Amino acid sequence: MAQTTTQADPAATKTAIITGASSGLGYECARALLRTDRSWHVVLAVRDAERGLAVADSLEGEGRCSVMCADLSSLESIRNFVAQQRSAGLPPTRALVCNAGVQVVSGASRSADGFELTFAVNHLGHFALVCGLLDQLARPARIVIVSSDTHDPERRSGMPAPRYISAEELAKAPSGPDEEATSGRRRYTTSKLCNLLFAYELDRRLGQGRSGITVNAFNPGLMPGSGLARDYPPLQRFAWRFVLPLLRFLPQVGSARASGIRLAALVHDPRFERVSGRYFDGLREVRSSKDSYDREKASDLWQTSERLAGVDGRLIR
Ligand SMILES: NC(=O)c1ccc[n+]([C@@H]2O[C@H](COP(=O)([O-])OP(=O)(O)OC[C@H]3O[C@@H](n4cnc5c(N)ncnc54)[C@H](OP(=O)(O)O)[C@@H]3O)[C@@H](O)[C@H]2O)c1
Q: What does the pLDDT look like over 133-172, one tens digit per residue?
A: 999 999 999 999 999 999 999 998 899 999 999 999 999 9
Mean pLDDT of 108-125: 96
Mean pLDDT of 257-282: 97
- Tell me if 103 CB under 6 Å of ligand 1: no
Looking at residue 4, what is its pLDDT? 56
CA of 101 from ligand 1 middle (Å) equals 4
Looking at residue 202, what is its pLDDT? 98
- Tell me if 25 CB under 6 Å of ligand 1: yes
Q: Which domains can be identified in the chain, with CATH numbers?
A: 14-315 (3.40.50.720)
pLDDT confidence of 205, banded at 50, 70, 90? very high
pLDDT confidence of 33, banded at 50, 70, 90? very high
Residue 2 has pLDDT above 50, yes or no: no
Residue 11 has pLDDT above 90, yes or no: no
Q: Which of 27, 164, 188, 232 is catalytic?
A: 188
Please choose, from the candidates 72, 78, 81, the residue with its C-alpha nearest in 3D space to the C-alpha of residue 111. 72
Known active-site residue 200: no
- Tell me if 309 CB under 6 Å of ligand 1: no
Mean pLDDT of 235-255: 94
Residues in a beta bridge with 214: 142
What pTM did the predictor assign?
A: 0.96
123 in Cβ contact with 72 (< 8 Å): no
CA of 238 from ligand 1 middle (Å) equals 18
pLDDT confidence of 6, banded at 50, 70, 90? low
Atom of ligand 1 nearest to the CA of 229: 20
